Amino acid sequence: MNTSNANTPIKELVREKIAEVSLSDAQIDALNAHLNPPLPQKKPWSNLMIAAGFVLFMGLGLMAHTQWQAWKKEQLFIAIAQEVVDNHLKQRPLEFQDQDLAGLDSHFTELNFTLVNSIQLPHLHTELLGGRYCSIQGVTAAQLRLQNDNAQVSSLYQVPFTAALFSTLGNINVDEQPVLRYAKGFAVTLWEEKGVLMVLVQSPNTELTPIVKPELPTLVPPPSLTP
């Protein structure tokens, strides 16, 4: 037995043994690094990724808005078509009878617009019988009654094409292709002319004359001035 160890106190021997197995600072750091690995750092978004996300968000928003506007437009077309057809079917007595549009207009004193002699009327081959007051989407309108040679009756409605009520319909000017819808078997044609919305209701038994985009007049070159 080692006499030096025998003479050493027990507490001192314990301290020596602990010191022999103690880790150095470098070993402690290595152990901590092994037991607690660093968390992976999140890569920051680049400006390009942020811009791409913004463009995608705006594109989806624009697409949704466009579809919503198209849906509202179609719903308004359908609502107007159903309203005027229901009115046409009632065939209420005419309040004013006149075969001249200007003379008929003088009777409609409660309208805040002037009846328009549409450029499409001559193509319908009908005769004006008269008119009465009505409403379209809550706006006071005029219902004109037309009749062809076969005594088939159609209705032409006129109402102001106001921005507040009809801006949803977009550009349906007479110079463009009019809008055609059907309600209860009747053909309903809509177009705008001189700030007035025109809605024509024709019976399914009528020999329909389609309302189309007017043709521009043929330009005739001026005669030559040379002798």
Query: Which tens digit of pLDDT belongs to each residue from 110-138?
Result: 999 999 999 888 888 899 999 999 999 99
Sheet holding 179-183, edge to edge: 96-97, 127-136, 139-147, 153-160, 196-202, 186-193, 179-183
Q: What is the average per-residue pLDDT within 36-60?
A: 69
pLDDT for 57 beyond 80: no
Lowest-confidence segment of 83-92, 167-176, 179-188 by average pLDDT = 167-176
At residue 72 the predicted structure's pLDDT band, cuts being 50, 70 and 90, is: confident
CATH number of 48-202: 3.40.1000
**Is 87:80 a contact under the CB 8 Å cutoff?**
no
Q: Which helix (H) or strand (E) holds 21?
A: helix 10-21
pLDDT for 64 beyond 70: no
pLDDT for 219 beyond 50: no
Domain boundaries, the chain: 48-202
**Is 182:81 a contact under the CB 8 Å cutoff?**
yes
pLDDT for 161 beyond 80: yes
Residue 126 CA: distances (Å) to CA of 111, 179, 185, 191 = 24, 21, 21, 18
**The pair of three-digit structure tokens given for residue 22, joined into one six-digit string:** 């103690």
